[in-house]
Structure 1
């Protein structure tokens, strides 16, 4: 397993770096690199049993290694020793308020950066406005000693994409910076872009190994498709193709006995609504007369297992680890609010750990095993179907009353609101740690086998 070492900046001879004796790094090497910066250096093994990296103050300064950097990994190739990874977290929405430089997301980012020393990476936040293209440096935002500091560093070894929404992602200046860093500087960039629900569904349909997890889903092109699916499943969900947080979702229900149609949704005031119609045509004209139906999908309704007499589904996070393998890092149950069309918290839903579900007909260990198996299979299948480097995915899954697992959505930038629940704190830490840990794998791949990254 790849090991990281404590880093100390010392007053030893200029341009000198000493590495632990136990390191399987052959000498001599003539250069040392940090991020995109590379310098000639005297590189030697330590004579003592110290298990740390010692670097002279002048060399650390020339490489733009921040003084608070305390733990890194070591890599080598040809004549160069690499220190890293230096991880740039690319985002937008910066504020001029020093204590909240990323607005309401500041706390989440400070928590993410708080695990970097235990992982052995050095991470910072930046936006397109922080890049100095002439000097190939970035004025990055670092979090340490309980506060935020701006420090000039080289271009990073790896970039972790945390652009918060589709609107920001489409801005030309953000697209230009992203393309330049990837294409001109060959920096591995993980978790780019947001998923489109229908696109993801159609890509996954090509993977026969996971097709049983997929509910019938179609682009909303005609009312006749809704009618047919209601005849087959009794209820369907109509969702925005690019929606998030459960907004804009409608559940349409057909009561065969009464020959009536119902629609459940969350209105513009945040209230959960249920309306009745005597024909599907009236329902659709009332709900969708001012909406562009081509922006929606129709998905088969599933009769889910219930807790506290309410439907439940599950949020599962998967992350790539430092070996480049998928791991399940979080599972949470989401119980629907009264009268809600979804289990989202903003619609009255509540979060629980699987262990807290004590009124299910299905065994919780069996349930958890099924969800883990499905999410790992789908992560592998989805990765094969997507362009770019995928390092984490958030899945919304359900289990029906017969025990079958269903995939409802996959999210490329899963939210973190569920971790506010005290029972999920261990998952919070694990997902943060692996979000940065994957950069170790990408940096080593980029040095040793770049063809695997830039295929």
Structure 2
């Protein structure tokens, strides 16, 4: 049995090596490839396979299952070719932050997790939203790794712009200039600022890292808390910070109600992924980022269709290998097309 593990990088990562070994437990050969390794004319993949702990070239016919990142979708010709022949682990990104928020708001079931948001077309709308909430976040609708996020605060007759680890006090005229020079309303989403901070004053969020398991259901290999040490706005570790396990962090920062908060986070992990899939498209990996205010209330920061594997690598690889075994059995008992129809039903 074979599966293809496609990523938008030429060299297989350490995670790909670990995953290949985990899949081998089930007798599954993992073929690593880049989208440009797809030979459409010959209908083969010029990939790599781990043999004696070394990646060696391996040409294979198109496997029935392709595990690919949503970033591979920019290779439209290759993806279209694979869609016709295989079952794909991902059918693209869930959509922009604004789109996902709008779908969840319209659906209503998880409305209690949503942060007040406002589409803004001009400075007056931006100013009115800031005046209403006093502190707001401007974040790119399709941003990654916490880049380009600003915190704008209103303090009496002056304003504060916070970005990464810097803070700048400005006048109303400078605020308008900042909006016109730095903020493109078509690119940015505006939200009320949720103060999700540790006792030490560092911004944090909880990452619920999800994978489909050996039963084809969503499971959580790991819960993480990402802490933005010395950051003004974001908690993303890529911009400097640290990580913590969920329970010790909650015990240290929410002494009185940490159990209730933990249970609420786990309930989100059990239910929200199914809603996201229903409203968007089938997936096998997901990252859900949750903020917690000082009262212990949960807020949805983001849903990620291509979450990283830098933390909990072994746990993630183990669950993913279980899913490979499950999905290949499903395909062998039915067909690729029948499994697709079940996914979309």
Deviations, residues 57-97 of structure 1 (Å, cap 9, x unaligned): xxxxxxxxxxxxxxxxxxxxxxxxxxx3x211122332xxx
Q: Does 1:210 align with 2:110?
A: yes
Query: Relative CO higher for 1 or 2, CA cutoff 8 Å, sep ≥ 6?
Result: 2
Q: Report deviation, 1:394.
A: 0.6
- Residue 370 of structure 1 corresponds to which residue in structure 2? 264
Q: Does 1:410 align with 2:303?
A: yes
Separation of aligned partners in 2, 1:157 and 1:222: 49
- Residue 316 of structure 2 corresponds to which residue in structure 1? 431
Provide TM-score, normalisation by structure 2. 0.89
Q: Report deviation, 1:432.
A: 1.7
- Residue 342 of structure 2 corresponds to which residue in structure 1? 452
Q: Does 1:131 align with 2:22?
A: no
* Closer/same/farther in 2, CA of residues 299 and 144 from structure 1, 3 Å limit: farther
Separation of aligned partners in 2, 1:434 and 1:222: 47
Q: Tell me, which stretches of 5 or more residues in structure 2 are unaligned?
A: none
Separation of aligned partners in 2, 1:254 and 1:126: 50
Q: Give yes or no for contact 1:198–1:218 (8 Å, CA) kept in 2.
A: no
Rg (Cα) greater in structure: 1
Query: Which of 389, 400, 405 is the matching residue for 2:293?
Result: 400
- Residue 309 of structure 1 corresponds to which residue in structure 2? 201
- Residue 108 of structure 1 corresponds to which residue in structure 2? 15
> By percentage of residues, which structure has more helix?
2
Q: Report deviation, 1:217.
A: 2.0
1:15-30 mapped onto 2 (5 Å cutoff):
none
Q: Report deviation, 1:148.
A: 0.5
Separation of aligned partners in 2, 1:113 and 1:219: 44
Deviations, residues 272-331 of structure 1 (Å, cap 9, x unaligned): 22111232x522422541553311100121122523232321111111112121112211
Separation of aligned partners in 2, 1:409 and 1:240: 12
- Give secondary structure in 1 for the equivalent of 2:189: strand
Q: Report deviation, 1:137.
A: 2.7
Q: Give yes or no for contact 2:203–2:233 (8 Å, CA) kept in 1.
A: no
Q: Give yes or no for contact 1:220–1:295 (8 Å, CA) kept in 2.
A: no
Q: Give yes or no for contact 1:319–1:431 (8 Å, CA) kept in 2.
A: yes
Separation of aligned partners in 1, 2:234 and 2:21: 33
Select between 243-252 and 195-204 the one with higher mean Cα deviation.
195-204
- Give secondary structure in 1 for the equivalent of 2:252: coil
Q: Give yes or no for contact 1:318–1:376 (8 Å, CA) kept in 2.
A: no
- Residue 235 of structure 1 corresponds to which residue in structure 2? 135
Q: Give yes or no for contact 1:119–1:433 (8 Å, CA) kept in 2.
A: no
* Closer/same/farther in 2, CA of residues 120 and 307 from structure 1, 3 Å limit: farther
Q: Report deviation, 1:196.
A: 1.4
Q: Give yes or no for contact 1:374–1:405 (8 Å, CA) kept in 2.
A: no
- Give secondary structure in 2 for the equivalent of 1:327: strand
1:72-111 mapped onto 2 (5 Å cutoff):
84=1, 86-94=2-10, 101-102=11-12, 106-111=13-18
Separation of aligned partners in 2, 1:120 and 1:395: 32
Q: Report deviation, 1:365.
A: 3.4
1:352-363 mapped onto 2 (5 Å cutoff):
352-357=244-249, 358-362=251-255, 363=257
Q: Does 1:379 align with 2:273?
A: yes
Separation of aligned partners in 2, 1:375 and 1:206: 20
Q: Does 1:193 align with 2:193?
A: no
- Residue 47 of structure 2 corresponds to which residue in structure 1? 140
Q: Does 1:179 align with 2:75?
A: no
Provide TM-score, normalisation by structure 1. 0.69
1:162-173 mapped onto 2 (5 Å cutoff):
162=69, 165=71, 169-170=73-74
CA RMSD after TM alignment: 2.3
- Give secondary structure in 1 for the equivalent of 2:186: helix
- Give secondary structure in 2 for the equivalent of 1:152: strand
Q: Report deviation, 1:440.
A: 3.3
Q: Give yes or no for contact 1:210–1:377 (8 Å, CA) kept in 2.
A: no
Separation of aligned partners in 1, 2:49 and 2:342: 30
Q: Tell me, which stretches of 5 or more residues in structure 1 are unaligned?
A: 1-83, 95-100, 267-271, 420-426
Separation of aligned partners in 2, 1:231 and 1:290: 19
Query: Which of 226, 234, 242 is the matching residue for 1:334?
Result: 226
* Closer/same/farther in 2, CA of residues 346 and 139 from structure 1, 3 Å limit: closer
